[in-house]
Amino acid sequence: MSEGSAFAVRSLVTRLDRDRTPLGAREEWPTRLAAAWDLVVSCPVPMALLCGPSFSLLYNDAFGELLGDRHPSAFGQPAADVAPEVWGDLLVGPEFEGVLRDGSSFRQDGAQLDLPWRSDEPGTGYFMRAGSPVHDEDGSVLAVLHVAIETTSAIGRARAVARLATSLAVAVTVDDVCKVVLRQSMAAFDALSATVCLPSPGPTGWRMARRHRIENLSPDEERLPLIWSEVGEDVLELVQRTAQEGGTYVSEQGEHVAITLPGGDIEAVLTLSRESSGVPQDVLAVVSPFRELVGEALRRAVVYDMERTTAELLQRTLLPPNLPQPDEVSIAARYEPVSEGTVAGGDFYDSFFLPDGRLALVIGDVAGRGVMAATVMGQVRAAIRGAALTDSRPAAVMQALDRVVTDLNALWPASLPLGSSGARPGLSFGGELFVTMLFGTIDPSSGDVVLASAGHPLPALLSGRLSRADGLPRARLLSMPVGPPLGIEGDRPVHRLRLDVGDILLGFTDGLIERRGEALDAGESRLLAVLGEVPPGSPRSVAQHVIDAMIETSGQEDDCAVLAVGRSPAGHRRASVVVPPLPESVRAARDWARDNLSSWGVSEGDQHTVVTGISELITNSVLHAGTESHLSMDMEPGLLTVTVADSGNRGEPLLTGGDPMAVRGRGLSLVRAISDAFGAHRTSAGTTVWFEVTVESASMPTTVRLA
């Protein structure tokens, strides 16, 4: 504290109204009270004297800052009048009264107090507080000497480290860990911005992701992968020097801090930009636990990412990357694992053209999870194609698969759960290999469907407007015979139906409806209730809505897959194009879309909405996927669906000279806002994002959609 500041506080004593305080004139104070005041006024930490039975408040400038706009009028006034909101707290008024009454002292660490008068940081604060008696020569208590040191920022940093530990416990990938580091380092180190840097094969040898204090990301944006770019020249030298020397680097003015985060096979560097005000010791104190927590999480995440890459590669080779889309029929599928990461599943789906022009429809489930279940699933799916292309009759296909499953049963270990890591070839399951499947065909021109079930859950039918006009309910489970699972010979009768325009046939695996501790009927009833509330839309939107709604209402205990098939109305139109991962592709995609929309007679207003959505999705794909994208548009009366599918990579630099201030996800939020339906999910090929818009077309009937 400067001499001038101390003099300013001393001058308040000389201006005290003697009639408004029991203290009297300064020269009349008891010697010990005067000595205590001299100590208070010269101390650099917040101190105060609470004098006499009324606890008249005398304090130094540092304490005055705690009082905010109540200083200087509070000087010499009873403490209960100065801060009535606080005085009644058990940690405040009663403590001072105890000191005055008994001559005892008190100390409080981390005391939580609400200071509503503070305009700079209103709300709860944390303090280290102490109170000691000032005795007169006769032993009576003249005043209470009070010290109050705010520890709010230090406690906030400790809590940030605690939140870091909690968040890292569920961060499984390197990308997830880095997101947690960026989010929590802002609070832990009072940073204006944080940049996490990882080794990269790129030109600079490093890639970076950055976050700024001013960013306020939505939950949807938080879930998206980070934006990675080549490390810029502004931080490259700092990153290289810190990585080489290790430990922590702090610039002279404290405006730059760099911390190495050792993660075993990968060593990250965290750089922080701060205000040029020096780095407090309590900030440096959290560096060590921060480094240890992040380093351990990085080591775990590196192993996880390596295993996940293998699992994703396996999954991508086992499920079809794309489904056929003839003009007369629309097909969509969703696969939702019970947990992301390294465990592949046994659920499968497929659709492909048969030699006579019909489409085969397949959805099934190999019991169990893990590499063994996924491998069996891949072999079964391949066998389905071979059998159906030879003889597409459901009975013939399933008879051929019975032999396949029986042979597979002899190749895998006995007395081991499917998916166990202890598998040894040469032993059998002992009859425990369990595969269910729904197989069918559809004639695109007529909508005629033939189905057969091998122990699989009954499919659902969502009736369109034409079917409901005949008295059919909005949603129902098909009443059809169910034969034994594959590998057990038996009769599997076929069921025939015709899909009208607007109808959607929905096949699914048991993970969608089965829950522990409840009857199967409960899951089926829950599914029918969800289907009854499904808004009109394409098979793609219906499939996503069903999975999202079922998981939201009852959770998820197993992998689940959904295959949705619908008839397209007359005049259905489709256009698709491959978009290279180049910045100029965004403009080219917009021009391509406008040309097609104009030829389809879509109004200018609807064109603007659709093209805006396409621009955002292609921009997102170019920036973050790093691979070519497949852009398609489907239009039927009243509805236009846009799909952008990529095979995006994760973790490598995706931008060269990109804007480090960019925030991924803002474009997706815009697409969600302007569209009537929106979805995004990972597929076996990469990431698929789609949206639907209600449109008017001069060249197509404008009747309401038949769904």
Question: Which has the closest alpha carbon to 36: 139, 149, 105, 132?
Answer: 132
Q: Does residue 421 share a domain with residue 357?
A: yes
CATH number at residue 470: 3.60.40.10
Residue 341: per-residue pLDDT: 47
User: What residue spans of 286-330 are helical by DSSP H?
Assistant: 287-318
Count of structural domains, the chain: 4
Residue 396: inside a domain, yes or no?
Answer: yes
CB 301 within 8 A of CB 650: no
Name every residue whose Cβ is closer than 8 Å to that of residue 517 and which is 6 or more positions away in sequence.
none
Residue 418 dihedral angles phi and psi, to the nearest 5°: -60, 125
Residue 679: per-residue pLDDT: 78
Q: Does residue 535 share a domain with residue 593?
A: no
- The Cα–Cα gap between 333 and 434 comes to 23
Residue 703: inside a domain, yes or no?
Answer: no
| DSSP bridge pairs for 697 | 602
- The Cα–Cα gap between 147 and 130 comes to 5
* Structure token pair of residue 608: 């603007």
| DSSP bridge pairs for 565 | 331, 505
| DSSP bridge pairs for 483 | 454
Residue 314: per-residue pLDDT: 66
CATH number at residue 31: 3.30.450.20
Q: What is the largest CA-CA distance in the chain?
A: 113
Q: Does residue 596 share a domain with residue 680?
A: yes
Q: Does residue 561 share a domain with residue 624?
A: no
Residue 125: per-residue pLDDT: 80
Residue 702: per-residue pLDDT: 40
Beta-sheet pairing, 573-579 with 345-353: unpaired
Question: Which has the closest alpha carbon to 506: 532, 471, 537, 531?
Answer: 531
* Structure token pair of residue 538: 């394409």
Q: Does residue 491 share a domain with residue 414?
A: yes
Burial of 43 (0-12, 13-18, 19+ CB in 10 A): middle
User: What residue spans of 504-655 are helical by DSSP H?
Assistant: 520-532, 539-554, 585-599, 604-624
What's the pLDDT tens digit per position in 476-502?
A: 999 999 999 998 888 999 999 999 888
State which of 287, 311, 335 marks the end of a domain: 311
State which of 567, 585, 615 marks the end of a domain: 567
Name every residue whose Cβ is closer than 8 Å to that of residue 508 and which is 6 or more positions away in sequence.
363, 457, 459, 460, 527, 546, 560, 561, 562, 563
Q: Read off the DSSP letter of residue 137.
A: T
Burial of 699 (0-12, 13-18, 19+ CB in 10 A): exposed
Residue 423: inside a domain, yes or no?
Answer: yes
Q: What is the DSSP string of 347-362?
A: EEEEEEE-TTS-EEEE
Question: Which has the closest alpha carbon to 376: 406, 352, 397, 398?
Answer: 406
**Omega of the bond prior to 413 within 30 degrees of 0, cis?**
no
Residue 40: inside a domain, yes or no?
Answer: yes
What's the pLDDT tens digit per position in 365-410?
A: 987 666 677 778 888 888 999 999 999 999 999 999 998 888 887 7
Residue 144: inside a domain, yes or no?
Answer: yes
What's the pLDDT tens digit per position in 154-210?
A: 777 777 777 788 888 878 888 889 988 888 888 778 788 899 999 888 788 898 988
Q: Strand, helix or coil at 391?
A: coil
Residue 663 dihedral angles phi and psi, to the nearest 5°: -125, 115
The boundaries of the domain holding residue 90 are: 3-150
- The Cα–Cα gap between 58 and 77 comes to 8
Q: Does residue 655 share a domain with residue 557?
A: no
- The Cα–Cα gap between 232 and 677 comes to 39
Q: Strand, helix or coil at 28?
A: helix
CATH number at residue 201: 3.30.450.40
- The Cα–Cα gap between 348 and 346 comes to 6
Residue 706: inside a domain, yes or no?
Answer: no
Radius of gyration of the CA atoms of the chain, in A: 35
**Does an H or E element contain 152, and which?**
helix 152-169
First to last CA, the chain: 76
Residue 122: per-residue pLDDT: 53
Q: Strand, helix or coil at 624?
A: helix
- The Cα–Cα gap between 552 and 253 comes to 51
State which of 512, 541, 567 marks the end of a domain: 567
Residue 705: inside a domain, yes or no?
Answer: no
Q: Does residue 262 share a domain with residue 136?
A: no
Q: Does residue 526 share a domain with residue 398?
A: yes
Q: Does residue 185 share a domain with residue 246?
A: yes
Q: Does residue 617 share a domain with residue 549?
A: no
The residues of the chain scoring below 50 in pLDDT are 1-6, 341-342, 414-430, 649-665, 700-707
Q: Does residue 165 share a domain with residue 103?
A: no
Residue 316: inside a domain, yes or no?
Answer: no
Q: Does residue 380 share a domain with residue 286?
A: no
* Structure token pair of residue 562: 């959904």
CATH number at residue 580: 3.30.565.10
Residue 686: per-residue pLDDT: 66
